[in-house]
Structure 1
Amino acid sequence: MPGAEVRRRPRQHGRVPQPLQPFLHDLVGQVAAPTQVWSRTDGQVVPRPDGAADVSGLVHADVVLLSGIEVSVEGDAGVPVAHRSLPDGREVFTALLRRLDAEHADTGDPRVRLDRTRDVQPGRVAEELVVSSTLDVGLRVAVEVALVPSGTAMGAVRQSGPVAPVEIAGTAEGTVTWSAEGIEVALAALGATIVERGARVVLRWELDLPARGAVGVGWSVDLDEPEPFVVAAPPEAYAEVALTGPDLDPRLAPWLARSVADLASLRLALPSAPGDVFYAAGAPWYFTLFGRDSLWAARLTLPLGLDVARGTLRTLARLQGRRDDPRTGEQPGKIPHELRREDLQLGGMTLPPLYYGTVDATPLWVCLLHDAWRAGIDEADVAELLPALEAALGWLTAQTEAPGAEGFLRYVSAGSQGLANQGWKDSGDAVRSTDGAYAAGAIALCEVQGYAYEAALSGAALLEGFDRPGAEALRAWAEELAERFRRTFWCDPSGSAEEAYPALALDGQGRRVDSLTSNVGHLVGTGLLNLEEEWQVARLVTSPALDSGLGLRTMATTDVPYAPLSYHCGSVWPHDTAIVVDGLVRAGLGEAAEPLVQGLLAASVAFDQRLPELWSGEGAPVPYPAACRPQAWSAAAAVVVARRAGVFGAEPA
């Protein structure tokens, strides 16, 4: 633009470049919690030439144990031509070995090929390699698999730190072993010659490939963790969902099937309670228990069954805060944010292994308990959790009475020892005004007040249903919160009621953070808004400024900070859209949700039925290149849409 100031980044002389999180949008991921494998679409895992850690490879319980997996035949990786996913979760990679067919090199006829089938199970990875030929003569071929053992923690991977080397314990009778972060690794390759070449372990087979025949070999890795921090949950037992009917959208069935399979692959438990299942938040970055994420995923997937809701509630109740600890954010009654193997170093921030920096997990825990109770969870299970319920409600009401809270549920930035923002939009730049200014002080997010209101009423119903005192006081507290919210949060820039909207937040000075965001949609169905206000929010979330056509933007295009590939200021998160759809349905405004439903269905096709964590808000299927997939609450979006379509019976009241 003529006359505009041009800003140039100064050159860095002698400075260490800032670490960049690896991208994974073009990788193939196979997940069987707590194990996962990420590779290129040709099946290869190629170490970075600069020696930095990458997400590609074999990952188990937040540790990369193989950072290189390269297959070749006679020194040739072949020409990749196909990749397909099998219904049982295996992946097949096909390459043509044209160099082995010199006679037909001048034609396009493929005569020799390699099919590589990878199977990932909890604690085990196996590959079958089959070389086949339609030549009229036999060949002598050498098949090699070059592996790079490592022991790199996921925190280092996210910052492109160096690959952590490991010491190979030796090769004997076709096996290789090493250990890292308390995980024992045993590599086996029947019939192979095993040699070490620098940092690589090379498996080699000399094979006779018959004329018009095939020959196969295989290798496997078994993982044992004597003292794990998470374990694989028992296999899922979801009933098969019948998807029939003339009015059912044909896009729904394949999307729901893939999503249910992805949810099954994310099932985890703690070793102290292996029967209490929860969903890992997402692969590969958040492959563990997350309070907010696991709660929302369990809540949105209640139509699939009650075991995950029960397990999530019980697991988080065991970890519920008992004392005040500023370092971890723990407070009595507070539900934690995340559980890790060890401290997570991320940029200039350090998160402890058990971290409580979340303002919304505690009310969401109460809401899930209530919804699971209404859905038919055993009353004995609810009764067992009543002390945790009372502690959570005590934390909730105490927060609004704290100095400076002014009657709202708030959080304060934890600085270098924790997350700057502690709602679901927890990136450092997520809470900004329409002019781009950053919010400061003790922040009260709009949707969190909705969660708090709903939790108070849900808690009151539970207390009353189990003959516990305190229900009326909670209802009175909730009504005061609603009136306070109505007086304080609503923005009306033009003086027109039709253009009014709830602010994203209040800052520490009580000023409105006046950007228009998807957060307002989370208020619908909580009860905090009256019917007229819910209709107004329904109009906002389906307006062109927020509805991208492929889901709900996190920030309106009319706000200065809007950027379509910003993590929280313009991108689309499918769980965010699904929560709003679910809220509209619960509020009796199901018809208003139709544009958002159609956007999710279109996105399911665009992203091959596996919705990633997020994507661009520009209205085209442009991936956010570091997004998790599968992501539990993204997969749960399919269940929300299926429930609205009547797949699981009547829509929720």
Structure 2
Amino acid sequence: MSGMQPLLHDLAIALRAPTVVLSGRDGQLRPAGTQGVLHGDLRVLGEAVVTVNGREAEPIGFAEPGADRGEFTGLLRGIGDPGPDPTVWLRRHRTAGPRGMYEELELASSASAPVRCAVELTLSADFAPIEEIKGGDSREALPPVLDGSGVLWESGGLTSRVVAEGAEFSLQDGKVVARWTVDAPTRLHWSVSVTDEAPLFVPGAPVLATPEVRADDRRFAGFLNRSLADLTGLLLAEREHPDDVFAGAGAPWYLTLFGRDSLWAARLLLPVSVDLAAGTLRTLARSQGRKHDPATGEAPGKILHERRRADFKLRGMSLPAWYYGTVDATALWVCLLHDAWRWGLAEERVRELLPNLRAALTWITELADTDGDGFAEYLDETGRGLANQGWKDSRDAVRFADGRRAEPPVALSEVQGYQHEAVVRAADLLTALGEPADGLTDWAADLRTRFREKFWVNGFPALALDGAKTPVDALTSNIGHLLGTGLVDEAESATIAGHLLGPDLAAGYGLRTMSSTMDGYAPLSYHCGSVWPHDTAIVVNALSRAGHGPAAARLGAQLLTAAEAFGYRMPELYAGFSADDSPIPLPYGASCRPQAWSAASAVVLLQTFLGLQVDVPAGTITLSPPPSPIGAFEVRDLPVGNGTLSLALAADGSIRDLVLPQGFRQVP
């Protein structure tokens, strides 16, 4: 439907960043919705429809055996031997690559004699940018150019070329048709390749470890393995810095650098990759703000929100290609630097980033509070940017308990937690490196006092303060992000944990973004009632860090239940219906899949079920596993420092076997 964001929950997706292929589950790429081959925020092929003897195959099954692969099978009834049993069928074997897509068409046959078939592949391309696709708009196909070896389309310095081995190409009604006349059984091959004169990003080298995991609950290994494969498919790097790998946020809407998303993904994935953290930190450090610019949201020391190949314009919103409209990425960058150091980022690498750390701390302690009330807040000065600039960034995301929207400037509760943790962790890091950390602990102490005085309402922290400094009193998942940041004390943490585990928030498939008791709650709202796996994973990790391991494990088990329903390819978000409302979690139809920080939730579950914390500089490993929701399990070759950790756990959480990396000791 024109003007509405197209749904994609039921599409088949093959991905190897910066390319993503979206088709129907029959394998066809039709000129509608989100379908097509997308590369670097442009749809470089919008149609690839196969027919045999003038008819489409009747689909009977599809699979996504890997992040970059799709397998489709359809029947060709009426071709081959007479009788009720099909004797000819079509299989499409698809592989996405960083510069396009390759596909094999397998005409399979059990017929008694060779079957003559006319196979046609109809093609078109429109080079629509991602924001037009997301907005539900359509545009006319570009004129194709037949050049003897295939067909190509060109626009804006980018070329898309289709080659089909042995096919004859022709133009029909403005589209291209590649035609083979063959006898089944046979195999045919075609591909689309992209040449981009100035790509922002190139494929990232694999940097994620793949520890061996076995558990009584076999779902867990399936979830972890699929997530790591999807994450590898999302890896990107700047062309000028190919070794600095980061995770693109998600396919198809956000397959690019996003400060908050890429930082959280790297942080949640530290148990399987310090290199990803290092690449993410360095990439974002190179674009760290240097000046005040209301048009882009840039400020000295501020970390970038997103970077695209061109300006992003959608429904009255106009974001520049380099956009800094985020209130939390700067603190998250600091937290990642500290945590990466704890997990083994080499000291010389950390020291290289100290100027960026100092600049980020200046923004946090001096510039983030724009109105002098002692809290970090945001306000879109242009009227064309993001109205909300925390992770819940939709226009209606910040609501009071009665459903009213908060007026800006808005100070989010979790952002105060991130800021507090960033400053405290930075002080620890600087002190350990023999660098001055004057005033940081005092600043954090003052923030704790102010927060306790202004944010607590009705027995829990408010979602935010609005422009009038009124507490936005809705009960939301945001409060879970405060755990482990040091901003709340032990008793307050216990109170927050009690709210989080209630059935109004933790309803069976993860943590709702808003309590079902609030007037603004809706299970299909983007940020006011849906479930975001990364949000649940952050809270699971925070509960564990705050000493609530059993509660963390119980909440994490809800994510595993949801992951199974989505074939272990965890989407960006899904509907907030409870397990009593629906026997399976229901999709949010326009959700990205895969999404980096959602996939990273599998690693969070691994860390939580192990009760694992690592301090490489101190040479210590902490293991405090809770009773296991996945039964007995074992982990082999989990990277720690220059070695690996292996262990086996009983279902009650007791350690049955433990092999520490050389030079490390276990601490309580």
TM-score, normalisation: structure 1: 0.91
CA distance in 2, matches of 1:426, 1:137: 61
Q: Could you tell me how far 1:612 is from its partner in structure 2?
A: 0.5
Is the 1:553–1:572 contact (alpha carbons within 8 Å) kept by the matching residues of 2?
Answer: yes
CA–CA separation in structure 2 for the residues paired with 1:63 and 1:416: 26
Deviations 1:310-339 (A, max 9, x none): 000000000000000000000000001000
2 CA distance for matches of 1:258 and 1:223?
27
Mapping of 1:474-493 within 5 angstroms? 474-492=440-458
Question: Partners in 2 of 1:75 and 1:401 — Cα distance?
Answer: 65
Q: Is the 8 A contact 1:405 1:442 kept in 2?
A: no
**Which of residues 567, 570, 585 is equivalent to 1:608?**
567
CA gap 1:45/1:88 in 2 versus in 1, 3 angstroms: closer
| In 1, Cα distance between equivalents of 2:500 and 2:57 | 49
Aligned partner of 2:416 in structure 1 is 449
2:146 aligned with 1:170: yes
User: Kindly tell me: are residues 481 and 237 of structure 1, through their superposed partners in 2, closer, same or farther at Cα, counting changes over 3 Å?
Assistant: closer
Q: Given residue 241 of structure 1, which amino acid in structure 2 is its aligned partner?
A: P
Higher strand proportion (structure 1 or 2): 2
Which residue is 2:212 aligned to? 242
Question: Once the 2 structures are TM-superposed, how far is the Cα of residue 89 of structure 1 from its aligned partner?
Answer: 3.7
Q: What does residue 501 of structure 1 align with?
A: 460
Q: Secondary structure at the match of 1:47?
A: coil
Corresponding residue for residue 4 of structure 1: none
- After TM superposition, the runs of 4+ consecutive aligned structure 1 residues lying more than 6 A away are none
Mapping 1:212-227, distance limit 5 Å: 214-227=185-198
For 2:488, the equivalent position in structure 1 comes to 529
Cα deviation digits, residues 224-282 of structure 1 (max 9, x gap): 21211111112x1433312135xx53221000000000100000011121110010000
Alignment partners' CA distance in 2, 1:47 and 1:188: 19
Aligned to 1:229: 200
Q: Deviation of residue 485 (structure 1)? A: 0.3
For residue 187 of structure 1, report the CA deviation from its aligned partner. Answer: 1.3
Q: Is the 8 A contact 1:399 1:408 kept in 2?
A: no
2:294–2:382 contact (8 Å) kept in structure 1: no
| Residue identity matched to 1:201 | V
1:93 aligns with 2:72: yes
Listed as ranges, the gaps of 5+ residues in structure 1 are: 1-16, 49-53, 493-499
Among candidates 103, 113, 120, match of residue 89 of structure 2 = 113
In structure 1, how many angstroms separate the alpha carbons of the residues matched to 2:2 and 2:316?
11
List per-residue Cα deviations over 1:46-97 (Å, max 9, x = no partner).
223xxxxx31010000000111110111011121111123347421111110
Task: Check the 8 A contact 2:289/2:298 in 1, yes or no.
Answer: yes
* 1:285 aligned residue: 253
- Asked if the contact 2:16/2:68 (under 8 Å) is kept, the reply is no
Letter of the aligned partner of 2:447 in structure 1?
A: L
Pair 1:327-2:327 in alignment: no
Query: Are the counterparts in 2 of residues 65 and 180 from structure 1 also a CA contact under 8 Å?
Result: no
Tell me the residue number matched to 1:260: 228
Q: Shift in Å at residue 189 of structure 1?
A: 1.0
| Partner residue in 2 for 1:438 | 405
Match of 1:13 in 2: none
Per the alignment, residue 649 of structure 2 pairs with none
Query: Is the deviation greater in 454-463 or in 630-639?
Result: 454-463
Q: Secondary structure at the match of 1:593?
A: helix
Unaligned runs of 5+ residues in structure 2 are: 613-620, 625-667
Aligned length: 612
In the alignment, which residue of structure 2 is the partner of 1:124? Answer: 100
Name the residue aligned to 1:646. Answer: 610
| Shift in CA distance, 575/651, structure 1 to aligned 2, threshold 3 Å | farther
Among candidates 390, 393, 404, match of residue 361 of structure 2: 393
Distance 1:197 1:650, change over 3 A: farther
SS of residue matched to 1:416: coil
How is 1:39-78 mapped onto 2 (pairs within 5 angstroms)?
39-48=23-32, 54-78=33-57
Deviates more, 1:348-357 or 1:236-245: 236-245
Query: What is the CA–CA distance in structure 2 between the aligned matches of 1:181 and 1:542, rounded to whole Å?
Result: 52
For residues 405 and 570 of structure 1, the distance between their equivalents in structure 2, rounded to whole angstroms, comes to 32
User: 2:132 — aligned with what?
Assistant: 156
Letter in 2 for 1:30: A
Taking the TM superposition and a 5 Å limit, the aligned residue runs for 1:171-186 are 171-172=147-148, 174-186=149-161
Structure 2 match to 1:81? 60
Instruction: Name the aligned partner's letter for residue 197 of structure 2.
Output: P
Tell me by how many angstroms 1:550 deviates.
0.2
Say whether residues 1:551 and 2:526 are aligned partners.
no
User: Is 2:350 the partner of 1:382?
Assistant: yes
* 8 A Cα contact 2:161 2:194, kept in partner: yes
Residues 448 and 148 (structure 1 numbering): CA distance in 2 closer, same or farther, change over 3 Å? Answer: same
Amino acid at match of 2:186: V
The answer to whether 1:309 aligns with 2:295 is: no
CA contact under 8 A between 2:549 and 2:611: conserved in structure 1?
no
State the partner residue of 1:496.
none
In structure 2, the partner of 1:512 is 471
Distance in 1 separating the partners of 2:259 and 2:57: 45
**Which residue does 1:274 correspond to in 2?**
242
Aligned mates of 1:279, 1:651 — CA distance in 2: 28
1:347-384 residue CA offsets vs partner (Å, 9 max, x unmatched): 01100000000000000000000000011101111111
- The answer to whether residue 356 in structure 2 is matched with residue 421 in structure 1 is no
1-side partners of 2:440 and 2:75: how far apart? 68
Q: In the alignment, is the contact (CA less than 8 A) between 1:149 and 1:201 conserved in 2?
A: no
Moved more, 320-329 or 180-189: 180-189
Q: Deviations over 1:494-542 (max 9, x none)?
A: xxxxxx0100000111110000000000000111000000000000000
Q: CA deviation at 1:159?
A: 1.1
Q: CA distance change for structure 1 residues 400 and 102 in 2, over 3 Å: closer, same or farther?
A: closer
Within the candidate set 587, 596, 605, 1:632 is matched to: 596
Aligned to 1:361: 329
- RMSD of equivalent CA atoms: 1.6
Cα distance change, pair 651–363 in 1 and its aligned pair in 2 (3 A): farther
| C-alpha contact 2:543 2:549 (8 A) present in aligned 1 | yes
Query: Residue 566 of structure 1 corresponds to which residue in structure 2?
Result: 525
Indicate conservation of the 8 Å contact 1:115/1:130, yes or no.
yes
Match of 1:35 among 8, 12, 19: 19
1:27, 1:40 within 8 Å by CA — same for their partners in 2? yes
**One-letter amino acid of the structure 2 residue matched with residue 481 of structure 1:** L
Judge conservation of contact 1:434–1:561 (CA < 8 Å) in 2: yes
Instruction: Quote the offset at 1:595 in angstroms.
Output: 2.6
Give 3-state SS (helix, strand or coil) of 1:100's partner: coil
The answer to whether the 8 A contact 1:151-1:181 is kept is no
Q: Which moved more, 1:590-599 or 1:143-152?
A: 590-599
Post-superposition Cα deviations, 1:619-648, rounded to whole Å, max 9, x if no partner, equal 241100000000000000000001122297
User: CA separation in 1, counterparts of 2:400 and 2:491?
Assistant: 25
